[in-house]
Amino acid sequence: MYRKSFDRGDGGWKPAATSWEPLGGKFKQVPAAIS
């Protein structure tokens, strides 16, 4: 699901980042790398 957000751009992964946190915090590094 968060993959679709990446396609949108910066404003796309931001809202999806909240969904990654509950996943385990592993994806938290993904949005950080894009920043």
pLDDT at position 22: 54
pLDDT at position 10: 54
Encoding tokens for residue 32? 């950080």
Q: How far apart are CA 12 and CA 19, in angstroms?
A: 12
CA 14, 28, 2, 5 dihedral sign is positive
Q: Chunked in runs of 10, what are the mean pLDDT values of the chain (35 residues)?
A: 52 52 56 55
